[in-house]
A = this chain, B = another copy of it.
Amino acid sequence: MKLSEGVEAAIHCTALLAQLEEGKTMPASALAEYHGLSQSYLLKHLKALAGAGILESVPGPHGGYRLARLPEQITLLDVVLAIEGPKPAFRCAEIRQRGPGALEPAAYVKPCGINAAMLRAERAYRSVLGETRLCDVLADYRNDADPRSIAFGCAFVERNQRPQG
Contact = CB atoms under 8 A, between A and B. Distances in A.
Interface of A: 1-5, 7-9, 11-12, 15, 33-37, 76, 80, 84, 89-93, 95-96, 98-103, 107-108, 110, 113-114, 116-118, 120-122, 124-129, 132, 136-137, 140-141, 144-146, 148-149, 152-153, 156
A107 B33 contact: no
B100 A117 contact: no
A148 to B, nearest CB: 6
A113 B141 contact: yes
Nearest to A132: B117
Max chain B CB contacts within 10 Å: which of A15, A99, A103, A137?
A: A99
B35 A110 contact: no
Contact of A95 (B33, B37, B90): B37
A95 to B, nearest CB: 5
The prevalent SS among residues of A at the interface is: helix
Given A80-B1, A107-B146, A96 B12 contact: yes
B34 A101 contact: yes
B36 A95 contact: yes
A107 B148 contact: yes
A95 B35 contact: yes
A79 B118 CA distance: 12
A6 to B, nearest CB: 11
B113 A137 contact: yes
